Structure 1
């Protein structure tokens, strides 16, 4: 079923399967696709973010399960704290799935990584539909779930246009200047491969 996603400014994307079927003003897309389901979101619709620290967040950190919070806390574990854990494939895979979910909650549709070495991590990321962008070397900055907290220029995925992949996010802000000021925690929805994979409750 075709779905139209629209923001507060009336900009909209028509999504069919994993692809963008149309992009433009909401009124035009509704006229072109009168049977489509329409989702209206507060804020601005943008291409999703690309996190520059994919390797660090996926393979050099463990994201605890909420059921482990009493023992491990809620923040990603790195360095000596990570080394102290008994990390097996199951734990690596589960941690990577939670890392991806937490990035999706920040409007992030992909991450820049060196080659992922841990098979359980690769499998978890592949199954999620999360985009992996190659990189060479370390990007600098500070690994953070919110790319605006990394200290690096923020990168967006490719612009959304007809026949491109349906990967985008909606942030509850007036414009990109406010997004830069308030950060990606303002995300209200993230779409990957045409699926609504995150929605703020």
Structure 2
């Protein structure tokens, strides 16, 4: 079943102009469509709708050391809570940490790269409130973090 994620504003890249009333359709682990909410709802009438406060855009690449935590799983989850679904391999310095990243579908990259919401691309999204705090993270189509 598809899910439509919509927010006050949607950005295809974090440098692009925001789209007011925008939405992103996620099916399994892929982006199905990006556009205005009304158009997306018409094209996907059976999809459930998740409304988020703030700005929705592509999930980020965490470019520094993973936050300290008691276990590798918790270190990876701390990155997800920041709105990132990718980390740099130079900071994934143990087999346990790499395994935790893989189990959570967190991508390990050789170097940083730009991120974007692209139809048919992997469904990696993040929502941030006006203060810049992460409200929600979608990693490979799964909602992995939601601030209460």
TM class by shorter chain equals 0.7 to 0.9
* Structure 2 length-normalised TM: 0.85
CA separation of 1:37 and 1:47: change in aligned 2, threshold 3 A: same
CA separation of 1:128 and 1:23: change in aligned 2, threshold 3 A: same
Residue 27 of structure 1: CA displacement?
0.7
* Structure 1 length-normalised TM: 0.63
| Partner residue in 2 for 1:111 | 87
CA separation of 1:17 and 1:109: change in aligned 2, threshold 3 A: same
Residue 117 of structure 1: CA displacement?
4.5
CA separation of 1:133 and 1:26: change in aligned 2, threshold 3 A: same
User: CA separation in 2, counterparts of 1:27 and 1:158?
Assistant: 25
| Partner residue in 1 for 2:144 | 197
Cα distance per residue 1:50-97 (max 9 Å; x no partner): 1111xx32xxx7513xxxxxxxxxxxxxxxxxxxxxxxxxxxxxx221
User: CA separation in 2, counterparts of 1:32 and 1:156?
Assistant: 31
| Moved >4 Å (runs of 4+) | none
Q: 2:21 aligns with which of 10, 18, 27?
A: 10
Q: Are residues 1:170 and 2:117 paired?
A: no
CA separation of 1:18 and 1:157: change in aligned 2, threshold 3 A: farther
CA-based RMSD = 1.8
User: CA separation in 2, counterparts of 1:5 and 1:159?
Assistant: 15
Q: Which runs of 5+ in 2 are unaligned?
A: 9-19
- Paired residues, what number? 137
Residue 167 of structure 1: CA displacement?
0.2
1 or 2, which has the higher helix percentage? Answer: 1
